[in-house]
Structure 1
Amino acid sequence: MQDWTTECDVLVVGSGGGALTGAYTAASQGLRTLVLEKTPLFGGTSAYSGAAVWLPGTAVQERAGIGDSTDKARTYLRAVVGDEEIDRQEAYVATAPEVVDLLERDPHIEFEWRAFPDYYKAPGRMDYGRAINPLDLPSDEVGDLREVIRPEADVDRAGEPHPEGTLNGGRALIGRLLMALHGTGHAELRTETAARSLIVEDGRVVGVEATNAAGETVRIRATRGVLLAAGGIEGNAALRTENGTPGKADWSMGPRGANTGDLLRAAVEIGADTALLDEAWWCPGVELPDGSGAFMVGVRGGILVDTSGERYLNESLPYDQFGRAMIEHGSGSSYLVFDSKEGGPVLPAISIPNISAEKHHAAGTWVSADTVEELAEEIGVPADALRRTVEQFNDFAKHGVDEAFHRGEDPYDNFFCPPGTGADAPPNPALSPVSQGPFHAARIVLSDLGTKGGVRTDADARVLRADGTPIDGLYAAGNTSASLSGRFYPGPGVPLGTAMVFSYRAVQHMRS
């Protein structure tokens, strides 16, 4: 018999978009719900995100009149991911409209469609995208909750308080979910409370043992179930090495000290099976002066070269495919080489966080030179090779066709590129010549938005043993679970969308 400190119906470990959706699903139906967050702030990696959520075929897409449907999304997902995880694929797309309907019934939550292309050319694709986003959240609405929401990445990593003004992206999503949770009257949220182990009675998970902010051990009983939605292993260098996960913990975009695989280990200790632990939601990262990485979302110009001074990919690829190309190439250092068209060393890419060129130059993560040959010497690549690479790319730009890597031939390639007008319009907006000195090079590393391997789960998010049987009372979603998308990243917001859907399904199963 346990000496329980606290009892609830549903216990949720983690506080990202998936975790809070699960918590709201429970609390909105009158279940006593407890959320544990081990850091001082709510939101996890979700708070850093742009909060595009791949929840297809919902009332939001219908309002926007974009022609999306569950059938079209089902076709696309199957075409990209293949025949693996058919049950979970179907559960995902079939349940997405239910999740959005539940959330939008709360006055604090509303979504809208914003253009952002799906990532693969496949049947069912939406060239302008199907992801939805939470509406921005004005300061006067969020009130004191602002102080417990994790701010955007550059602010958070600098240890600065949440800036004044409207919350957007992931901060808006977390803020709206927290407001909705508070409004139910059935939810308790605790920060600085780290779940350490799972408590099992008669083969069923009945609670967790955790350490609170005072360093005290607390034992929390959950009568309906425990939902683990506490991120992956991206922040744990030892676990990455153990599981052969490429990249480095310092280069990951996960919040510092947050996603270290504590609950994954706890689940494995009681018999949970795992999968995809060598996988992540990959992206190129601009190396920052402190040695960390900054998510490079999309490229508007420049070329990526390896240590031989050669290009090896389409620089406008969707970021996960970009990261996978880096892994496959495996050439060590890469550099984004760009020019001074915008009047100085302005990175021709969207980078989160965005650090000043002056800080980069002082640390040596960016270098500059008057000529391409001098730049090559600065970054240690053969000058003749880099010159030839730049000349070839500039010829491609002149004619509007990238004969080497087909940059600019996919809707995603041009999404971040200004098209130009009139006589100044380039033949291919994704191909801008590298021609105006001084020239610059930024070090690019393999980053990630979190790992995507974890415990194996079924269509109701129940955690499975190696023999396929579920562990009673234990559920997992988000990056704590192995993703149904396998080694693919189908579209913007799939990590958030799957986390939200399967957290919802977990709670619905607890109630059945």
Structure 2
Amino acid sequence: MGEQDSRGETEFDVVVVGSGVAALFGAAVAASRGMATCLVEKTERFGGTSAYSGGAVWLPGNRVLARDGVEDSVQTGRTYFRAVVGDRTDPDLQDAYLNTGPMVVDHLLDTLGIPMRFQAFPDYFDAPGRQQTGRSIYPKPITVDEVGERVGDIRASVPSDQFGAPEHPTRVEGGRAWVARLVLALDAMEAAELRLSTAAQRLLRDDGGRVVGVEVRDASGSRSIGARRGVLVAAGGFERSTDLRRRWQRMPTAAWSASHPDTGTGDAVRMFDQVGARLDLLDQSWWCPATLFPNGHAAFTLGVRSGIIVDGTGRRFANELLPYDQMGRRMHARMDDGGGEEFWLVFDDAEAGGYPAICVPGPDPDQHRQAGLWHTAGSIAELAEAIGVDEVVLGESVARYNSFAARGKDEDFGRGEDPYGRFFLGASTPEECLRPLEGERFHAVRLVLGDLGTKGGAVTDHDGAVLDTDGAPIPGLYAAGNSSASVSGEAYPGPGVPLGSGMTMAFRAVADMAGDTLAVDPGALAH
């Protein structure tokens, strides 16, 4: 545990800022090495944006994949990752991520005892090395009884946390399972101390410029927490800062992000800026379409089963079955190109008027209609009038799409031609993904450009050390997760890259604090 000095201030070996999966894992790695570790979380619950995630972790060539019958290797993953990301980020950083992934899984299994499993979810790009069934692993769910009294300290699910839905779960799944299991692992370690409702305000440095701790504020006021070995900042991004989103990403609001309003407010990038850190990828997010709700929040939406998505002019502009980040990027491009900030999912009564997409929580038709976010009409022309687009343009968009459906080939955007697009429909051919819009009633539900968090922040080296504007490491300072500039650059290669890369760089950061040298050479750790 930490030691108090004569002023009542506490000093640890390692201080971790944030409580998403990257932060919790970094703290667990440090404490399991016997280093006195303090984790501070500014809200009253652990989990950050990670708690909202599906829990996928993308680490090629790990032993869980091998155990569950998935043929994969670090080298195959590298081939794919390089093809998708290119040289937008440092190749040494990419190699550090990919080569260390199997070690992360080994630590989770052997040291922390966290059970995991493979679950199919395709990689997102048609590129060499792609796994069409995916290479993502997930934590096994944990029962509420196993979590015990800590369950109230884990961030609730999205329907409960942001939309007020009642929650009476019997087990914790996905990203929340990672959070719960890691918190329990930390609770069992004498070297770990976890502090909720404790906000990091600034980084502390000595006369030589080394980061030696963090100034925090809790219910009793401000205090300093010293860090003998280093500070790991894994406190999320700036997705909930309207000012920063407007400045760096040309977004009209921060309300459409999937994260909780109290998380991801830009604390990390502000602290980094104060110490002269180099920042990058500030214009980037993990984008996604999102369904707008009456309370102003927006829910991550994917897996469109039928219908078309049109922009504010009534035009179809992309393959609706694209991986969500790619679809989000098309939406951002349309916003920049005069398509407006409004988007609509237009569909018919094929599912008895139900919403033909995965959205949690699902929109309530009556509540959404009252808010003007769900419109129903007896014709496309009437629907166009209801949503405020040109009826000729929307009519042409629907007619053109229907002609493609009749021929079984989307000549504009190739809908259904990629395995990812067919995955959510359980389809084996493109034709199965092209059902015409027809019938006596048509619907339009409002979509917006959402995100799963920003992905720009501090530039780090291959050990997670934060670099200054001259490219030199800032002694004692490390970053991981959405507080750092993502190793995947401007791309989102596959499900679980955010969590997987965050955990890996936290692992390497702790190793560097401990004085260990982990290999970067592609051949050194390849499985």
TM bucket, shorter chain: over 0.9
- Alignment match of 2:405 (pick from 394, 397, 400): 397
The separation in 2 between residues aligned to 1:410 and 1:244, in whole angstroms, is: 29
Residue of structure 1 in register with 2:513 after alignment: 510
Instruction: Give the 5 Å matches for 1:85-484.
Output: 85-106=90-111, 108-158=113-163, 163-201=168-206, 202-214=208-220, 216-246=221-251, 248-330=253-335, 331-332=339-340, 333-344=342-353, 346-419=354-427, 428-484=431-487
Give the AA of the match of 2:406.
K
Whether contact under 8 Å (2:417, 2:430) holds in the other structure is: no
Residue of structure 2 in register with 1:13 after alignment: 17
Q: More deviation in 10-19 or 431-440? A: 431-440
Whether contact under 8 Å (1:397, 1:427) holds in the other structure is: no
Q: 1:307 to 1:129 in 2, by over 3 A?
A: same
Give the AA of the match of 1:448.
D
Give the AA of the match of 2:246.
T
The separation in 2 between residues aligned to 1:292 and 1:138, in whole angstroms, is: 29
The separation in 2 between residues aligned to 1:263 and 1:406, in whole angstroms, is: 40
Q: Please, what TM-score do these two structures have when normalized by structure 2? A: 0.93
Give the AA of the match of 1:210.
V
Q: More deviation in 104-113 or 5-14? A: 104-113
Residue of structure 1 in register with 2:519 after alignment: none
- CA-CA distance at 1:160 after TM superposition: 6.4
The separation in 2 between residues aligned to 1:354 and 1:444, in whole angstroms, is: 13
Matched position secondary structure for 1:105 = helix
- CA-CA distance at 1:353 after TM superposition: 3.2
Q: 1:23 to 1:107 in 2, by over 3 A?
A: closer
Give the AA of the match of 1:443.
R
Q: Please, what TM-score do these two structures have when normalized by structure 1? A: 0.96
Whether contact under 8 Å (1:253, 1:450) holds in the other structure is: yes
Give the AA of the match of 2:118.
W
- CA-CA distance at 1:384 after TM superposition: 2.5
- CA-CA distance at 1:163 after TM superposition: 2.7
- CA-CA distance at 1:349 after TM superposition: 0.9
1:200-230 alpha-carbon deviations (Å, 9 max, x no partner): 002110001000133x111101111100000
Q: Which runs of 5+ in 1 are unaligned?
A: 421-425
- CA-CA distance at 1:158 after TM superposition: 3.6
Q: Which portions of structure 1, spanning 4 or more consecutive aligned residues, are displaced by more than 6 angstroms?
A: none
Matched position secondary structure for 1:487 = coil
The separation in 1 between residues aligned to 2:399 and 2:444, in whole angstroms, is: 16
- CA-CA distance at 1:164 after TM superposition: 2.6
The separation in 2 between residues aligned to 1:432 and 1:36, in whole angstroms, is: 51
Whether contact under 8 Å (1:282, 1:447) holds in the other structure is: yes
Matched position secondary structure for 1:103 = helix
- CA-CA distance at 1:454 after TM superposition: 0.5
Q: 1:2 to 1:339 in 2, by over 3 A?
A: farther
The separation in 1 between residues aligned to 2:481 and 2:124, in whole angstroms, is: 20
Matched position secondary structure for 2:309 = strand
Whether contact under 8 Å (1:80, 1:490) holds in the other structure is: yes
1:38-91 alpha-carbon deviations (Å, 9 max, x no partner): 000000000000001111110011012221110000000000000231011000
The separation in 2 between residues aligned to 1:322 and 1:339, in whole angstroms, is: 21
Whether contact under 8 Å (1:16, 1:42) holds in the other structure is: yes
Whether contact under 8 Å (1:248, 1:447) holds in the other structure is: no
- CA-CA distance at 1:399 after TM superposition: 2.6
Give the AA of the match of 1:276.
L
Q: 1:61 aligned to 2:62?
A: no
Matched position secondary structure for 1:56 = coil
- CA-CA distance at 1:392 after TM superposition: 2.1
The separation in 1 between residues aligned to 2:211 and 2:109, in whole angstroms, is: 32
- CA-CA distance at 1:381 after TM superposition: 1.5
- Percentage of identical aligned residues: 50
Q: More deviation in 246-255 or 93-102? A: 246-255
Q: 1:449 to 1:351 in 2, by over 3 A?
A: same
- CA-CA distance at 1:413 after TM superposition: 0.5
Q: 1:412 to 1:388 in 2, by over 3 A?
A: same
Q: More deviation in 102-111 or 18-27? A: 102-111
Matched position secondary structure for 2:255 = helix
Residue of structure 2 in register with 1:485 after alignment: 488
Q: More deviation in 302-311 or 147-156? A: 302-311
Whether contact under 8 Å (2:242, 2:252) holds in the other structure is: no
The separation in 2 between residues aligned to 1:156 and 1:435, in whole angstroms, is: 37
Whether contact under 8 Å (1:199, 1:206) holds in the other structure is: yes
Give the AA of the match of 1:45.
T
Whether contact under 8 Å (2:422, 2:430) holds in the other structure is: no
Residue of structure 1 in register with 2:27 after alignment: 23
Whether contact under 8 Å (1:246, 1:278) holds in the other structure is: no
1:413-448 alpha-carbon deviations (Å, 9 max, x no partner): 11111449xxxxx86222222113321101111111
Whether contact under 8 Å (1:4, 1:220) holds in the other structure is: no
The separation in 1 between residues aligned to 2:301 and 2:454, in whole angstroms, is: 17
Matched position secondary structure for 2:58 = coil
Q: 1:76 aligned to 2:80?
A: yes
- CA-CA distance at 1:458 after TM superposition: 0.6
- CA-CA distance at 1:8 after TM superposition: 1.0
Give the AA of the match of 1:499.
G
- CA-CA distance at 1:387 after TM superposition: 2.1
The separation in 2 between residues aligned to 1:273 and 1:419, in whole angstroms, is: 46
Whether contact under 8 Å (2:355, 2:363) holds in the other structure is: no
The separation in 2 between residues aligned to 1:38 and 1:307, in whole angstroms, is: 38
Residue of structure 2 in register with 1:51 after alignment: 55
- CA-CA distance at 1:361 after TM superposition: 1.0
Matched position secondary structure for 2:197 = coil
Q: 1:128 to 1:101 in 2, by over 3 A?
A: same
Q: Which runs of 5+ in 2 are unaligned?
A: 516-527
Q: 1:259 to 1:161 in 2, by over 3 A?
A: farther
Matched position secondary structure for 1:386 = helix
The separation in 2 between residues aligned to 1:301 and 1:7, in whole angstroms, is: 57
The separation in 2 between residues aligned to 1:237 and 1:427, in whole angstroms, is: 40
- CA-CA distance at 1:245 after TM superposition: 4.5
